[in-house]
Amino acid sequence: MLSFIIRRLLLVIPMALIAVTVTWGLIRVAPGNFYSSEKKLPPAIEKNIREKYGLDKSWIEQYGIMMWNVVRLDFGESLKFEGQSVNEMIARHFPYSATIGFFAYILALIIGLTAGIIAALKQNSAFDYGSMAAAMLGLSVPSFVLGPILVLIFSLWLYLFPPARWGGFLALILPIVTLSASYAAYIARLTRAGMLEVLRSDYIRTARAKGLDEKTVLMKHAFRGGIIPVVSFTGPALAGLLAGTVVVEKVFAIPGLGNIFIQAVLNRDEPVIIGIVAFLSILVMVFNLLVDISYGFLDPRIRYE
């Protein structure tokens, strides 16, 4: 397993650099720049700005400077917010996204695993049909629709939770529920499908034939194999939760990483865009590595060569 982990870790840096290169190329071919405004700048001022930020150099030179900064994990300063380093901005805003994403996924796991397991054990029952119908609804309703609906009901009508802003446990409830809804639906469907497949396998029938009680068969044998699809989903899902909270952050006015990423894209703030892309790329690959390692503990048939 050690050699497998080392090989995967060695791939993290080149894969992250590829993601950064593609992002840098898209920024270069996109129209506009960070100093664009409705009123065109005088040529002398525009020339000074381009010289200050190295935009007067060739693309090859700019790319070399950018890659050198990325390799050193020094993404420079924001072009729009002078004096603020990208590293400091990521460190300041990431905890907001991480907090919401972590608790949203915990809630999604609790709801999704419970609903999926019960639906598999009671296949074709009213609970099975009802839970899967609810899962389809959760997948169909986007977060930018669900969020305002929850605010309307629980904040403006019932006055139970704050409608927006960061502060206190109650302020986290609506963002967490909004973000977890679609993930809970995915997990419920994956768990149901995985459990149904495992419950019909030969080794489960053998375990029952040996006289093991149903609880032991379910928890010790079926559950470990049935949640493998959920584990596979967990790696990209966690990274997606941390990076994809932008809609929820906008709806609930939360100063998270997704929020500043959208602002950076609109402002053409290249260092911030590159820094966030590199950071999230590494996160995705690390999460996927942890998922791959966990396979061996969940399924003894899986071996790392």
The predicted pLDDT at position 152 comes to: 92
221 located within any domain: yes
The answer as to whether 287 is a domain residue is no
- Which residues are CB-contacts of 277 (< 8 A; sequence separation ≥ 6)? 19, 20, 23
User: Is residue 20 a part of any domain in this protein?
Assistant: no
Query: Is residue 149 included in any domain, yes or no?
Result: yes
Mean pLDDT for back-to-back runs of 10 residues, the chain (305 residues): 74 85 86 66 72 78 86 84 86 88 91 92 91 89 88 90 82 90 91 87 80 78 79 75 72 84 84 88 80 69 60
Domain-located, residue 45: no
What confidence score (pLDDT) does residue 243 get? 59
CATH number of the domain encompassing residue 184: 1.10.3720.10
Domains held by the chain: number: 1
Domain range for 121 is: 93-256
Q: Has residue 35 been placed in a domain?
A: no
Asked if the structure places residue 55 within a domain, the reply is no
Quick one: pLDDT at residue 192? 92
Q: What angle do CA 238, 75, 15 make, to 5 degrees?
A: 50
Q: In Å, how far are 7, 87, 191, 242, 285 from 261, measured between CA atoms?
A: 31, 13, 33, 12, 20
Please tell me whether the overall predicted TM-score, pTM, comes out greater than 0.85 for this model.
Answer: no
H helix count then E strand count, the chain: 14, 0
- Would you say residue 143 lies in a domain? yes
Buried b / exposed e across 202-227, counting CB within 10 Å, b at 16+?
eebeebeeeeeeeeebbeebbbebbb
Closest to 82 in 3D by CA, of 274, 276, 277, 267: 267
